[in-house]
């Protein structure tokens, strides 16, 4: 199981693609849902309007049928008395003959619920249908009589369709002959209206589904573009990262080799020569002791002096590699010791100034500024041809700044065109690791000199401890 999970663990590029794709998918899903809801709501309003329009047309048609039928026998009803059976019979015959379409007919019920006219369903004639209900529980005849007693009106209900014998939805218009206590009307089945509405709804659903298909296709294409672009960018960035890593690794190796070469030269040219001189002096002193020469002790004194020089050289090399005073006393004393040794070794007049401040630099900042000072003094010794150098260290509200300047010849144009050397690159990288800034100001010409300013931000200044707040100022 762990192997299976590890096989599906996404890499960095895939994670970036997922991070870019998930908001896109969520946004498209929300848009699709909103489009579907709005489309359905709009379509439902349009379908409802269409249904109402069709039903109103059916109702107007029914009202027209009843009005025409009533006009056809109104002269009979208008001249007849409530008990004129002959007139009633004539009207029944006229209504029974008024059949239209496949299922259209007129009906007559008296107010007691007895069917008097039903040409399509003759078995209902002279039968009483009080409390008769359709499959939905609507008392159809009772409702028709109630509407007729009120004047006229419409009723939507289920009724057995004469052409099929199956129950279907119907709209009925009914009016009254009050003197005869009749409810007269006709109805029309609205299957065609329902079919039209159902077709419209199906068409809407089909359009919504097609819209979802289009949105899904666009989303899929967008996601594929995101993944492909992510893969291309990831591949390109990986190649650049590999190239940068190789370059950085080579620079690390170069720096290591340079440092090893410097230490080897220091050992060979300094300590090795001194130790060879000590051995020669000791051999000379032994031979003089063997011969009983009186001045043999002078050779021993010279050997002791050479041993002292070798010890000082070892200490200097050790201090260059990692000065103990940096950890024990802080950056200020370490830089002061560095400048004094530099002046003694090179003869270049070197001044160091510092403004001590309460907050102490953290270890990374101290090491970085110390190494920058070392690199700068090394460049002054090798390339500047200067007679004076100055180091200034001070704290301020933005952090701390180390400024190194000299009165040498500055950087010539060829160096600027080739780009910074490994020493300047090391300075830049050390400052960038601290989120600081490095400024190099140089003017070409003898005596113009170079100024290097390294600034570390306030985040690398440690807050004062409780005992320091009441004590005197301490060095950086």
Tell me the per-residue pLDDT of 82-114, one tens digit each, with 9 for 90 and over. 888 888 898 888 888 888 888 888 999 999 999
Q: Determine the Cα–Cα distance for residues 378 and 438; give it in Å rounded to an integer.
A: 17
Q: Determine the Cα–Cα distance for residues 352 and 337; give it in Å rounded to an integer.
A: 10
Instruction: Report phi then psi at 105, rounded to 5.
Output: -160, 165
Q: Which residues of 296-318 are buried (b: 16+ CB within 10 A; e: fewer)?
A: beebbebbeebbebbeebeeeee
Tell me the per-residue pLDDT of 382-441, one tens digit each, with 9 for 90 and over. 888 888 899 998 887 778 888 998 888 877 644 444 455 667 877 888 888 888 888 888
Asked if residues 66 and 185 have their Cβ atoms less than 8 Å apart, the reply is yes
Q: What is the pLDDT of residue 323?
A: 67
- Helix (H) or strand (E) holding 132, with range, is none
Sign of the torsion angle spanned by Cα atoms 312, 313, 316, 322: negative
Domains within the chain, CATH numbers bracketed: 99-189 (3.30.450.20), 328-462 (3.30.565.10)
- Give the residues of the chain that fall short of pLDDT 50: 5, 359, 413-418, 466-475
Helices 363-379, 331-346: inter-axial angle, 10-degree rounding: 10
Q: Determine the Cα–Cα distance for residues 297 and 284; give it in Å rounded to an integer.
A: 10
What is the token pair recorded at 467? 């005992």
Percent of the chain scoring above 70 in pLDDT: 80
Residue 117, Cβ density class (10 Å: 0-12 exposed, 13-18 middle, ≥19 buried): buried
Q: Determine the Cα–Cα distance for residues 259 and 409; give it in Å rounded to an integer.
A: 26
């Amino acid at each position: 199981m762990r192997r299976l999970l590890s096989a599906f663990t996404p890499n960095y590029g895939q994670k970036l693609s997922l991070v870019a794709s998930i908001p896109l998918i969520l946004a498209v899903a929300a848009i699709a849902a909103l489009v579907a809801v709005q489309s359905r709501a709009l379509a439902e309003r349009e379908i409802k309007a269409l249904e109402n329009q069709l039903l109103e047309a059916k109702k107007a048609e029914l009202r027209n049928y009843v009005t025409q039928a009533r006009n056809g026998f109104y002269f009979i009803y208008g001249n007849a008395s409530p008990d004129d059976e002959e007139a009633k019979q004539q009207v029944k015959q006229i209504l029974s003959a008024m059949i239209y379409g496949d299922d259209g007919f007129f009906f007559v019920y008296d107010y007691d619920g007895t069917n008097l006219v039903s040409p399509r369903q003759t078995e209902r004639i002279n039968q009483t249908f009080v409390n008769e209900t359709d499959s939905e529980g609507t008392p159809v005849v009772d409702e028709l009589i109630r509407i007729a007693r009120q004047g006229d009106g419409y009723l939507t209900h289920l009724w057995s369709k004469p052409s099929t014998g199956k129950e279907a939805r119907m709209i009925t218009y009914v009016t009254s002959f009050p003197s005869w206590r009749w409810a007269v009307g006709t109805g029309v089945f609205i299957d065609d209206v329902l079919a039209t509405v159902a077709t419209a709804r199906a068409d809407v659903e089909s359009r919504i589904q097609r819209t979802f298909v289009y949105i899904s296709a666009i989303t899929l294409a967008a996601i594929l573009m995101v993944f492909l672009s992510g893969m291309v960018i990831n591949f390109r960035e990986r190649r650049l990262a590999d190239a940068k890593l190789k370059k950085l690794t080579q620079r690390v190796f170069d720096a290591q080799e340079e440092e090893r070469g410097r230490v080897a030269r220091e050992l060979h040219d300094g300590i090795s020569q001194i130790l060879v001189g000590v051995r020669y002096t000791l051999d000379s002193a032994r031979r003089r002791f063997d011969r009983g020469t009186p001045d043999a002790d002078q050779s021993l004194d010279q050997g002791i002096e050479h041993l002292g020089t070798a010890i000082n050289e070892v200490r200097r090399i050790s201090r260059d590699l990692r000065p103990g005073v940096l950890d024990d006393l802080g950056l200020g004393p370490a830089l002061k010791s560095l400048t004094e040794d530099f002046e003694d070794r090179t003869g270049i007049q070197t001044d160091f100034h510092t403004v001590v401040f309460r907050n102490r630099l953290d270890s990374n900042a101290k090491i970085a500024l110390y190494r920058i000072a070392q690199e700068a003094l090394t460049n002054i010794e090798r390339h500047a041809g200067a007679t004076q150098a100055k180091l200034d260290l001070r704290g301020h509200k933005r952090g701390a700044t180390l400024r190194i300047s000299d009165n040498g010849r500055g950087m010539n144009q060829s160096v600027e065109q080739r780009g910074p050397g490994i020493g300047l690159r090391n300075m830049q990288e050390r400052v960038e690791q601290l989120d600081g800034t490095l400024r190099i100001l140089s003017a070409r010409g003898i005596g113009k000199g170079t100024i290097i300013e390294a600034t570390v931000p306030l985040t690398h200044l440690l807050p004062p401890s409780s005992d320091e707040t009441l004590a005197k100022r301490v060095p950086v």
